[in-house]
Amino acid sequence: MQDWEELLSQAGYRVTEPRRWVMRLLLESTAPLSPQALFEAGRARQARLGLVTVYRTLALFEELGLVHRVHLQEDCHGYLPTSPGHRHFLICQHCGSAVEFPGSEDLEGLIATIEAQTGYRVAGHLLQLLGLCPACQGM
């Protein structure tokens, strides 16, 4: 995502310094970041950025599809910048670095089976993979 500023404007929002910081910090990180982590990373770099703004910005970005929230074991969740559309993430359980991949519809078969068995109608899903990134495999 690089023309996120365009998208923001288009949607009627202003492109501000704090919002630029949040996006920059997210893009520079290889791992998901929590609001607190973003705030501290920003503060460490003299960014003009308040914690409250981080929360608001993440909520806005999420709404616009610019970031996704991922669930972690300890911290509960963090945010990752993302391309628009249906995405999934694969997160390294050692160093936290994440990669996204498009939501290919490989779940069709599984979903059909489950629908038949349960009577539920499936409308969406949450899928995250975890494992080891190339760098962390030699350990």
Answer yes or no whether residue 56 interacts with DNA by CB under 7 A. yes
- Interacting span for DNA (CB under 7 A) from 24-32, 44-52, 83-91, 111-119: 44-52
Which of 18, 97 has the CB closer to a copy of itself?
Answer: 97
| Binders of Zn ion in range 11-70 (CB under 5 A) | none
Q: By rule CB under 5 A, what count of residues binds Zn ion?
A: 6
Sequence-separated (6 or more) residues with CB below 8 Å from residue 54: 18, 22, 35, 38, 39, 42
Q: Residue from 23, 41, 92, 98 that binds Zn ion (CB under 5 A)?
A: 92
Q: 94 contacts which partner out of a copy of itself, Zn ion, Mn ion, none, CB within 5 to 8 A by kind?
A: Zn ion
Residue 58: closest CA among 49, 68, 48: 68
Q: Is 31 left (phi over 0), alpha (psi -120 to 50) or beta?
A: beta
Residue labelled with tokens 């991949």: 101
Q: Give the closest residue to 32 by CA, choosing from 63, 61, 75.
A: 75
Interface residue list for Zn ion (CB under 5 A):
92, 94-95, 97, 133, 136
